[in-house]
Amino acid sequence: MTIPHDAAARAERDPRDIKPAEIFKELAKGVLGQERALEFVSVSVYKHATGKVPGNLLLIGNSGTGKTTIMNNIQRLYNEVPEYRDLRAMTIINANLLVDSDRMEFRPDRLLQAVEQRARSVIGHDPTAEELRAAMERATICVDEIDKMSSVVAGKPNPIGVVLQQGLLTLMEGENVAYRTHVLEGGEEKQRTLDISTRGMMFICGGAFEGLYDQVYYRVTNPGSGEKLKSTAIRTADGQVRIEARFTLADFFRIEDLFAYGMVPQFIARFDNVVILNDLTMEVLKEILLHSYDSPFIRSKKFFEIMNIQLEIEDLAAALIAEQAEKQTRTGARALRGIFGRIINRIEFDPDGSNALKPNPDGGRTLTVTAAMVRRALGL
Ligand SMILES: Nc1ncnc2c1ncn2[C@@H]1O[C@H](COP(=O)(O)OP(=O)(O)O)[C@@H](O)[C@H]1O
Ligand SMILES: [Mg+2]
């Protein structure tokens, strides 16, 4: 999906001709190691873009495995592909903001306010009622931390979670919501109530569902469950391979596990697919460190460019960092930042004080993060 410099020079395609495989390729530039999940996401985006069938998704994945990254990359896709112009009003909102816990009520207006704000900024001028309604009705709505809105939290009933799930499920079924706002009419701002249909919206809910891992693990490892953990080959930073029996949620997950977790069956039924993200392997973490848009290495590279210093990293150094990050299983790719920081922060403060700088023929300098530097900084 290369965007021509002169976008107008290319005839726009029917969204039906932008196939899931093409959507996948674009999303995969920013989301690494989640190919299976991205296949589902691409199909959902295709469904949403063509507007015939709903493509609502529930993303389940440990912290730092890429849930928000997937949402951000869908937004990037909408922004970059001219044919997706009408889909650009996308919003990411935390589930707990959609309920008023004092009054125990669902607040769709808060959701629509977030969508409206986004729609207005996409439209770029004071919209008419019709323009605003049209943009809002094609919105993609991402609801984060949906797992915190379980009907049971820490073994206790969580009624507000039920309120949220029931409210959201009604919207996902397709509802008309009366929404008060102000719009431009005959050159004047007027108070209006828009009748917003949610039928053409896409809903993507995401959560870490932390207890779900243990819950399914116990079910599976319970003697008599008849299930068996799969053995996989694990590669270490220095290239060795060992075999480990690993529990992977995706291998054993059943939809009923979500009901036991405290999700309302009718709510879960509104999703087209429940998608489980992979925990990130050392190889993927290394790729993320070296290549993802907002990796701490890439950020640091940009920082050093200001000082006319080219930042490089040895392959083994990157592998060692990735290996350490993989050990912090609860934070996923987020661990990269802290670990890389322990190596680079002091050098960013005083590059000349490090002995890692080498002059370049062109007058600038190169700074290479070596395996030795990583081992020293991390005490390996
Ligand atoms: N699969 C992935 N591909 C690329 N980068 C990722 C991936 N997973 C996490 N990251 C990086 O890790 C950080 C946290 O990821 P995020 O998507 O916010 O995690 P979460 O699953 O908790 O929402 C981000 O900086 C992101 O760039
Ligand atoms: Mg997130």
Q: Give tens-digit pLDDT for 325-341.
A: 999 988 999 999 999 99
Angle of the 20-27 helix axis to the 35-50 helix axis, nearest 10: 130
Between CA 258 and CA 147 the distance in angstroms is 10
* Whether residue 246 has pLDDT greater than 90: no
pLDDT-derived band of residue 237, with 50, 70 and 90 as boundaries? Answer: confident
pLDDT value, residue 6: 57
pLDDT value, residue 3: 57
What secondary structure letter does DSSP report for 294? Answer: T
The model's pLDDT over 129-188, given as tens digits with 9 standing for 90+, comes to: 999 999 999 999 999 999 999 999 888 999 999 999 999 999 999 999 999 999 888 888
Of the bound ligands, which one is closest to the alpha carbon of residue 65?
Answer: 1
What secondary structure letter does DSSP report for 11? Answer: P
Q: Among candidates 54, 177, 166, which has minimal Cα distance to 111?
A: 177
Nearest protein CA to atom 19 of ligand 1, as residue:
64
pLDDT value, residue 329: 81
Q: What secondary structure does DSSP assign to 63-92, as a single string?
A: TTSSHHHHHHHHHHHHHH-GGGGGG--EEE
Contacts of 134 (CB under 8 A, 6+ apart): 86
Contacts of 192 (CB under 8 A, 6+ apart): 129, 180, 181, 182, 183, 185
The model's pLDDT over 250-279, given as tens digits with 9 standing for 90+, comes to: 889 999 999 999 999 999 999 999 999 999
Q: What percent of the chain has pLDDT over 90?
A: 79
What secondary structure letter does DSSP report for 20? Answer: H
pLDDT value, residue 39: 98
pLDDT value, residue 1: 58
CA of 103 to the centre of ligand 1 (A): 35
- Domains along the sequence of the chain with CATH: 7-276 (3.40.50.300), 282-378 (1.10.8.60)
Q: Is the CB of 33 under 6 A from ligand 1?
A: yes
| Number of other CB atoms surrounding residue 272 within 10 Å | 17
Cβ-in-10-Å burial (0-12, 13-18, 19+) of 312 comes to: middle
Between CA 282 and CA 290 the distance in angstroms is 12
Nearest protein CA to atom 25 of ligand 1, as residue:
294
- Note whether 302 and 294 are within 8 A (CB): no
Task: Identify residue 326 by its one-letter amino acid code.
Answer: E
* Whether residue 293 has pLDDT greater than 70: yes
Nearest protein CA to atom 8 of ligand 1, as residue:
66
pLDDT value, residue 7: 52
Neighbours of ion ligand 2 (CB under 5 A): 67-68
Across residues 312-323, what is the average pLDDT?
97
CA atoms within 13 A on the CB side of 266: 12
Question: Strand pairing partners for 153?
Answer: 156
Structure-token pair, residue 5: 């410099």
Across residues 99-107, what is the average pLDDT?
94
- Test site for ligand 1: of 41, 69, 76, 282, most ligand atoms within 8 A of the Cβ: 69
pTM for this prediction: 0.90
The model's pLDDT over 191-214, given as tens digits with 9 standing for 90+, comes to: 999 999 999 999 999 999 988 999
What secondary structure letter does DSSP report for 148? Answer: G
CA of 65 to the centre of ligand 1 (A): 5
Q: Is the CB of 67 under 6 A from ligand 1?
A: yes
User: To 10 degrees, the CA torsion angle through 93, 95, 96, 97?
Assistant: 30
Q: Chain-wide mean pLDDT for the chain?
A: 92
Q: Is the CB of 296 under 6 A from ligand 1?
A: no
Region label for 104, one of left (φ > 0), alpha (ψ between -120 and 50) or beta (otherwise) = left
Q: Among candidates 140, 173, 172, which has minimal Cα distance to 45?
A: 140
Between CA 18 and CA 133 the distance in angstroms is 25
pLDDT value, residue 243: 84
CA of 68 to the centre of ligand 2 (A): 4
